[in-house]
Amino acid sequence: MMMMMNLTRDPWIPSVRRDGTRDLFGLDELFAQSHTLRDLAVKPHERIALMRLLICITQAALEGPKDEEGWETCGPLIQPRVKEYLSKWFSKFELFGDGERFLQAPNLQQPTSDKEGNPATKLDLTLATGNTPTLFDNAAGETRTVSAARAALSLLTFQCFSPGGRIGIAIWNGKETPKEGSSNHAPCVPSSMVHTLLIGDSLLETVRLNLLTHEIIRDVPPRRLGRPIWEQVPVGAADTAAVDNATSTYLGRLVPMARSIHLQPDGTSMTLANGLDYPLFPAFREATATIIQKKDELGPLPASTGRSLWRQLGPITVRRKSAGDPISGPLALTHALRSNEVGVWVGAFITDKAKIEDVVDGFHQIPRSMLDGPGRMAYERGVQYADATETSLLQAVKHFSGELKIGNPGYDRARQSFWTSVEQSLTALFAVARELTTEEELPKSKWGQAVKDAALDAYRQVCPYQTPRQLQAHALGLRRLFLKTTSKSAKPKKGIPNE
């Protein structure tokens, strides 16, 4: 059965209203109701991909904002301008059919050596297909039909987040797709980069907060605005002007075409091959990434499975000091944010080369003081204090285990218990930033007490004290746990595994 789908008219974007009810929306209806919608209702990597699309449409429709004043006042213009824009470009958002298709390579043909193509479920990075592990899905091997709405969201997300590696070769406009069956990461994947978005009290405000002015865009590589890819679709890898716009301009890259794809209308299969190659930092700086100093070079702040994202809010909240300084958090923080608290969403798609490891995210209302040096430094001292306490905890576990000749100390269990408990007290950590708590004041603060209680509870869980020998070992370990902790003593000691 042939599917029909236009992303402007037909519902496909999961969103939640203020009353908590959820529904699917097409782009037209989503923008029309964006002032009453609370948020998107999607997985972390889908949120990033959708926000890139919504931002791209909005900036193209506004042809701006050109400067900070325009950013401050553009809110009322977004809905009428976007409505006009989507009407003008309606035909470019078709998912199926014989004409141009959204984010699909025109004139793409399956090679004769592979008549069956790839399963359409491969587009969904949470399903167990290809390199995606059963961590997310246990129905691998089943023939599944993808609905048109799900195909639209998965296609958009896949073009942003598909990991590099070996890939099939197809015929694109009469020529083989580039790189002879290999592919690089899509633009949002490299370094398992942390993406950060500002969150407002409605979806409309969230979109506005994350718009970049032309002034900001001109200040960061490659300093070119460009056009959305659907306004200048590459007809092949040799279409140099369209490829340059798609891969090396701000608007062109927001909605990428990292893979050459042609969906079959029955929802079961597709043609899949390599697409366009996207330059990475420092040639291009992703707007939602945080750039940090990594040893001898600059690069995106990476996420890891062993370190919660809230522990990295320090570098994320660094605002750009000047146009020539690349080290900073997301570019949207450049704006003059006036509220006492700033809603910040952080998320990452964690990979190991071509293997998907995890998808993580978190939302925090951070105090405005964290966007300035003293508040951010106080926050980082609080995080370092917790890091140092973890080191003391693991030293205590090591000492307890050594006294009893235990071969496998419970480091992982202690660490997991400690950080799970600490994470419940983040409001106290944000108070440290708000109140500019000094290092000397940390141990007696609510945050310091919460960290101490979490360490003691984790130690008691891992180091029992029922027998006389256990009691003696437990007491000796406690001495290690309560040695004076400072925010400068978080370096792991010899013999204790890192996270």
User: pLDDT tens, 161-172?
Assistant: 999 999 989 999
For 268-287, the pLDDT digits (tens) are 899 999 999 999 999 999 99
* Residue at 440: amino acid letter: E
Of the candidates 249, 180, 239, 240, the one whose C-alpha atom is nearest the C-alpha of residue 218 is 249
State which of 274, 302, 333 marks the end of a domain: 274
Same-domain check for residues 381 and 269? no
Query: In residues, how long is the chain?
Result: 499
> What are the tens digits of pLDDT across the range 22-64?
999 999 999 999 999 999 999 999 999 999 999 999 999 999 9
Residue 439 inside a domain? The answer is yes
- Mean pLDDT computed over every residue of the chain: 91
When pLDDT is averaged across residues 224-245 and rounded to a whole number, the result is 95
55 and 173 co-located in one domain: yes
Mean predicted confidence (pLDDT) in 69-83: 97
Domain assignment present for 200: no
Whether the predicted model's global pTM rises above the 0.95 cut: no
Looking at the structure, tell me whether residues 31 and 180 fall in a common domain.
yes
Please write the tens of the pLDDT for every residue from 469-483: 999 999 999 988 887
On whether both 268 and 381 belong to a single domain, the answer is no
Q: What CATH number corresponds to the domain at position 427?
A: 1.10.132
179 and 35 co-located in one domain: yes
pLDDT at 141: 47
* CA distance to 103, 417, 463, per residue, from 498 (Å): 42, 16, 20
Q: What ranges in 148-303 are assigned the alpha helix state H? A: 148-161, 203-209, 214-219, 240-248, 250-254
Q: Strands 108-109 and 13-17: what pairing?
A: unpaired
Nearest one of 227, 245, 259 to 155, comparing CA atoms: 259
pLDDT digits (tens, 9 = 90+) for 100-145: 999 999 999 887 555 567 899 999 988 755 555 555 554 544 556 7
> Domain boundary at 254, 274, 294, which?
274
Residue 434 lies in a domain: yes
Q: H or E stretch including 301? A: none
Last residue of a domain, one of 256, 274, 292: 274
Question: Is 258 in the same domain as 401?
Answer: no
The whole domain housing 18 covers 13-189+223-274
User: Do residues 140 and 263 share a domain?
Assistant: yes
Query: What domain count does the chain have?
Result: 2
Residue 116 maps to a domain:
yes
* 419 within a domain of the structure (yes/no): yes
Q: Is residue 7 part of a domain?
A: no
Check residue 484 and give its pLDDT: 63
pLDDT beyond 70 at 10:
yes
- 248 lies in the same domain as 126: yes
- Residue 113, in any domain of the structure: yes
Residue 82 belongs to some domain of the structure: yes
Instruction: With beta carbons less than 8 A apart as the criterion, state whether 460 and 477 touch.
Output: no
- Residue 493: the pLDDT is 56
